[in-house]
């Protein structure tokens, strides 16, 4: 299958490679000409055969809106746009309406896999009309992990990004729990090998997970995380999850507390946030801040 891909950063660049490895034709565009296959969005669209599919992997908000506005002018009826970034689900409804007026289909795809997706595959949570989702099945099959799991048509437009938002909210709470446990182990005199305690949990325990494996990786690189500042950013999806919980009267005490803990990290050099910063770097390649030397 042939597809255009806009945005060739940490995720988009690896997705282009994974799709090509599966035999698909990918024409990529990025504002960085060193990464781009074509010089402009117009060139990308011109190289695609109708009906065209363009997958957008740029930051949420204004950058995504700008690309979709431009594609609305360039694409034709029966073409399809996929937003695979971390857009808010309410933006999906707006984009689907804007493109639909021109006969252009829209699919929202929550994508999880970070910098490991090229090797392991990407979990895909997709929203949109069945007609457009089915058209993209070969692309979804190539991107997802091998085996029966890793892809879901979650529902109508917005469902994919809503599901990914909830996924990220759960991720916040899980990372917070590991971070709190790590700080407590580090605080007591009786435990003198915290890293190996974490490693011992990787097999046979109910708290084993990929995040735990990544925590061990981070501790192998810096046993006490002394090189990191206890500061962790948030992508916005934790906030959106809490807002959606309020709107729907659903109690989310663990996820809400984990979001507020990130806010606290910006006030002091929080030991817990060193672990969360390390985990975000491990699974997503997110930037970390180095500890200030005395």
Residues with a known catalytic role: 164, 171
How far is residue 22's CA from residue 229's CA, in Å, rounded to a whole number? 40
Determine contact, residues 280/237, Cβ cutoff 8 Å. no
The H-or-E segment that residue 53 falls in is strand 53-56
Closest CA to 25 of 127, 155, 142, 135: 142
Closest CA to 269 of 235, 234, 225: 225
Q: How many CB atoms lie within 10 A of CB 65?
A: 16
Alpha carbons within 13 A on the beta-carbon side of 286: 18
How far is residue 85's CA from residue 7's CA, in Å, rounded to a whole number? 10
């Amino acid at each position: 299958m042939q597809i255009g891909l806009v945005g060739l950063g940490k995720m988009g660049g690896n997705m282009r490679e994974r799709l090509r490895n599966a035999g698909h034709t990918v024409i990529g565009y990025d504002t960085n000409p060193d990464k781009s296959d074509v010089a402009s969005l117009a060139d990308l669209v011109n190289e695609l055969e109708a009906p065209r599919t363009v997958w957008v992997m740029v930051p949420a908000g204004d950058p995504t809106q700008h690309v979709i506005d431009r594609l609305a002018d360039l694409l034709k009826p029966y073409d399809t746009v996929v937003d695979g970034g971390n857009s808010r689900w309410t933006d999906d409804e707006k984009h689907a309406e804007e493109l639909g007026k021109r006969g252009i289909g829209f699919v929202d795809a929550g994508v999880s896999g970070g910098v490991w997706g090229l090797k392991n595959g990407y979990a895909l949570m997709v929203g949109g009309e069945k007609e457009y989702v089915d058209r993209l099945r070969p692309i979804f099959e190539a991107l997802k992990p091998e085996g029966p799991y890793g892809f879901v048509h979650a529902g109508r437009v917005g469902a994919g990004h809503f599901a990914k938002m909830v996924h990220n909210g759960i991720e916040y709470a899980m990372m917070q729990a590991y971070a709190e446990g790590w700080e407590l182990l580090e605080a007591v005199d009786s435990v003198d090998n915290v890293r190996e305690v974490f490693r011992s949990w990787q097999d046979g325990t109910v708290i084993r997970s990929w995040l735990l494996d990544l925590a061990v990786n981070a501790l192998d690189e810096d046993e006490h995380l002394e090189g990191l500042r206890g500061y962790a950013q948030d992508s916005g999806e934790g906030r959106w999850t809490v807002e959606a919980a309020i709107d729907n009267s659903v109690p989310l005490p663990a996820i809400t507390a984990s979001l507020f803990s990130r806010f606290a990290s910006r006030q002091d050099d929080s030991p817990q946030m060193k672990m969360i910063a390390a985990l975000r770097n491990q699974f997503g390649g997110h930037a970390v801040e180095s500890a200030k030397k005395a």
